Structure 1
Amino acid sequence: MTTQLRVLRPSEWNEWFGNLELAFGGVVADSPEERELWEALTEHERSIGIWDGPDVVGTAGAFSFRLAVPGGALVPAAGVTMVSVAATHRRRGLLTSMMRRQLDDVRALGEPLAVLTASEPAIYGRFGYGSATRQMSLEIDTDRVRLAVPDGTDEVRLRYAKPDEATAACEGVYERLVAGRPGTPAHGPGWERRALIDPASARRGASPLQCLLAERAGEVVGYSTFRIKPDWDTAGPKGRIAVDDLSALDPAAYAALWRFLFEIDLTSTVEARNRPVDDAVLHLVSDVRRCDIKLRDSLYVRLVELGAALEARAYRASVDVVLEVEDAFCPWNAGRWRLTADTKGGASCKRTDDPADLALSVRELGSVYLGGESLVSLARAGRVQELRAGAVAEASSAFSGMVEPWLPRGF
């Protein structure tokens, strides 16, 4: 087999994307509008493919994001996407060669981080990606669960809006919340269109997308987008509400949006498939056991330039620790690094010859980078080795976050 790995040419996009669709079962874009959007969002200079003669047999791309990290900084990050290998060419090293080329390119661009969501969690650990955020799904029985809302909820004005006409207002709320939630990407132009793609084929019998705005003194302070799927049985209506997004700038607006969803006529279930693990709605409901909570992995983080990445985030406690880092795939990160930081926002991570306090791989650093996973937990699993007594607890306290990291919108 003779293959060629190179940058995608714009004229080749349809064939390139077609290979991706075939690898994922035949359908990635549910409508011509969605396909057109993905083509418009594709950064061709950051997209690579592998050709076997005239045929595309491998794809990988990246979006240019800025990712919120602990402390509120927005750090340049490559949003790895559209990765596929043709079924006819598996186990031949194609994925490894694309990951090698991509991470070299990310480093050349000066981006300290690469992030992705994995179709299968076992794939990317060998390339140094660590599971860094989780998402919570809820399926709430609104016939039995009630909400206890805070003062001021009744003062919030709610109104329907057409999704396309409300895009600017919704994006304004999203942008104000980005820095406060590690793992949230700040998108570039064009990404606001992603939320508007609403093909009938993807609704599974539910309504077109609906949008609700929360306002106070004429200002939009929150929004929710959702669909309603009517259903009936011999006892009466039992419709379902599928929450696509819900965000608000203050507790009253947040509660008002949830209360509205709970009280929609002819429905008995509210489901939300992607919420943060520490979502405040868990403290509003009367019976959390009837919310059918499930957790799953979400965003994976890869430190591409280890020193720059660790210096870019803030730390919750002062720390002075020497890390012995293993990184076979990006060997420029391997070796000993002294991380020093205080609670005022200053951090330094430099190479050192001093004795190591902790030994771990870059994958574990990716997992704890956003503050959602614990070095203590990883050490108990044998994935972090403590070389100085007390070092795990000290470093774990420093890396911990005020809020759970979360990826609110996929890419």
Structure 2
Amino acid sequence: MTIELRKIEAAQWESWFSRVELAFGGIRENAEERAFWAERNEPDRTVAAYDGELIVGAAGAYSFRMSVPGGGVVPVAGVTCVGVVPTHRRRGVLRAMMRRQLDDVRGRGEALAVLLASEPTIYGRFGYGLGAQEFRVEIDTPRVGLRMPAGAERIRLVLAGVEESLADCEGIYARQVAARPGMLERRPGWERKPVLDDPAEREGASPLMCVQAFDGDDLVGYARYAVAPHWTPDGPDGTVVVRDVDALGPAAYAALWRYLFDIDLTTRVTSRGRPVDDPLLHLVTDLRRCRPRLRDALYVRIVDTAAALAARTYAAPVRVVLEVRDEFCPWNEGRWLLSGDAGGADCKRTEEPADLVLSSRELGATYLGGTSLAALAGAGLVTELRPGALAEASTAFGSPVAPWVPHGF
């Protein structure tokens, strides 16, 4: 079998995406989603694997900017639509596409690649480490209360049209990007991703709705949600399906959740894709009845070790020599001297003895500050050669807030 990798032309996107759908089970995306992805496509980053004239594999990427610890926002490749059709799996097609893609990312000067994995076991062998997690909740609202912070009583809530409020809500989102690692600085058009609302996908819920929070005349937050009515012989048993909650302070954040808890004819609130340190976990009076469930989210690949480690800041002063192992991207192999603190960092090759030994996968996992080097060492994935280096580096790589990616791509 001879496989040829080629970039697609814009006019080929429809046939290319159809093969992506086939690789993911053959279900066709709804028209609204399909149009959104067609508009976001970057042809020069979209690769097809051909067997003759037949597309048998696909891989794409978006040109994003993502926040990193310290508040910087850096270019990253957002890897997407990676799949191989059933007839051509386990024949090296995926590996060839990953090789081509990471070479391209490096050539563009992007130090990082990120993705949301359909199957977590796949991407570790290409150097992607789990850099951010998320959780979902199903809250029994009749039995769970909220501890309201000072100032919540002055927050005014107003229902708004989803489309009419889109620009104002996006302004709230944009103000939060630098404060949390992993958030995406949304390019024009990407603000529509959180409001896609095809009727066929609602599963009995209402159209998407929006409530905005005001402190005086100032917009300070919003929530987007739908209501799925349900009735039992005992009465109403509806569900509030929460899409987004963003706010500029604890008073507005709590007021928005109280509103969602108190919607008539409902007995539960569900929400997924929340950051693992979400203040909601500390507002609720009974966490058990919220049924929190943790899952993996953003996977991070270090493409350029020196540039990536110098792009972020560090929670404590650190001077450590990292011996990085990276068979898939051998240019990252070797020893790297990292010196940094809260003001900035420098990373360069060195001949000094190594303090810590780890693979690029573990370096990606710890990069955004959500996975500690100490935890990875406890699993045997990081080796300490200089006593004290592990504690020093683990503290420095940490982030005061957990990394979080707000939506898929």
Q: Under a length normalisation based on structure 1, what TM-score does the superposition of the two structures give?
A: 0.98
State the one-letter code of the partner of 1:139.
E
SS at match of 2:122: coil
Partners in 2 of 1:11 and 1:264 — Cα distance?
46
Query: In the aligned structure 2, how far is the partner of 1:227 from the partner of 1:401?
Result: 33
3-state SS of paired residue (1:389): coil
Q: 1:385 to 1:28 in 2, by over 3 A?
A: farther
Q: Give the equivalent residue in structure 2 for 1:239.
A: 238
Distance of 1:346 and 1:73 partners within structure 2: 10
Moved more, 213-222 or 270-279: 213-222
Q: Distance in 1 between matches of 2:28 and 2:186?
A: 21
Match 1:400 to one of 398, 401, 407? 398
Residues 50-88 of structure 1: CA deviation (Å, up to 9, x unaligned): 111221111111111111000000010000001110110
**Paired AA for residue 167 in structure 1:** L
Matched, 1:161 2:160: yes
Equivalent residue for 1:29? 29
Q: By how many angstroms is 1:28 displaced?
A: 5.2
Aligned residue number for residue 366 of structure 2 = 368
Residues 28, 303 of structure 1: alpha-carbon distance in 2 compared, 3 angstrom cutoff: farther
- The residue type paired with residue 185 of structure 2 is A
1:68 aligns with 2:67: yes
1:123 aligns to what SS in structure 2? helix
Task: State the distance in 2 between where 1:46 and 1:334 align.
Answer: 26
Distance 1:204 1:6 in 2: 39
Instruction: Note the C-alpha offset of 1:102.
Output: 0.6
- The SS at the match of 1:328 is coil
| Match in the other structure for 1:322 | 321
Query: 1:204 and 2:220 equivalent?
Result: no
Structure 2's unaligned 5+ residue stretches are: none
Partner Cα distance (1:300, 1:81) in 2 = 12
Matches for 1:184-333 after TM superposition, within 5 Å:
184-333=183-332
Structure 1 stretches of 4+ moved >4 Å: none
1:28–1:223 distance in 2 versus 1, CA, 3 Å: farther
> CA deviation digits over 1:323-360, x for unaligned, max 9?
110011111110000111123x2211110001001000
User: Which position in structure 2 is the counterpart of 1:18?
Assistant: 18
Q: Bigger CA drift: 54-63 or 210-219?
A: 210-219
Is the partner of 1:350 in helix, strand or coil? strand
> What letter corresponds to residue 346 of structure 2 in structure 1?
S
C-alpha separation between the residues in 2 aligned to 1:154 and 1:409?
30
Deviation at 1:196, TM superposition (A): 2.5
**How far does residue 290 in structure 1 lie from its aligned partner after superposition?**
0.8
Counterpart position of 2:2: 2
8 Å contact from structure 2 (residues 3, 93) kept in 1:
no
Deviation of the 1:284 alpha carbon: 1.0
How far apart in 1 are the matches of 2:324 and 2:194? Answer: 39
Match of 1:90 in 2: 89
Distance 1:28 1:334 in 2: 42
Letter in 2 for 1:252: A
The alpha-carbon deviation at position 274 of structure 1 amounts to: 1.1
> Given the alignment, which residue of 338, 347, 351 partners 1:353?
351
Unaligned runs of 5+ in 1: none
Q: What is the DSSP-based 3-state SS (H/G/I as helix, E as strand, rest coil) of the residue aligned with 1:268?
A: strand
Q: Percent identity?
A: 57
Matches of 1:187 and 1:196, distance apart in 2: 14
Report the Cα distance in structure 2 between the residues aligned to 1:67 and 1:227, rounded to whole angstroms: 29
Q: How far 1:218 moved relative to its partner? A: 2.1
Looking at structure 2, the residues matched to 105 and 235 of structure 1 have their Cα atoms a distance apart, in angstroms, of 60
1:98-153: per-residue Cα shift (whole Å, max 9, x none)? Answer: 11111111111111100000001000001100000000111110010011111211
1:293-324 Cα shifts (integer Å, max 9, x gaps):
11000000001011000000010011111111
Match of 2:145 in 1: 146
- CA RMSD, aligned part only? 0.9
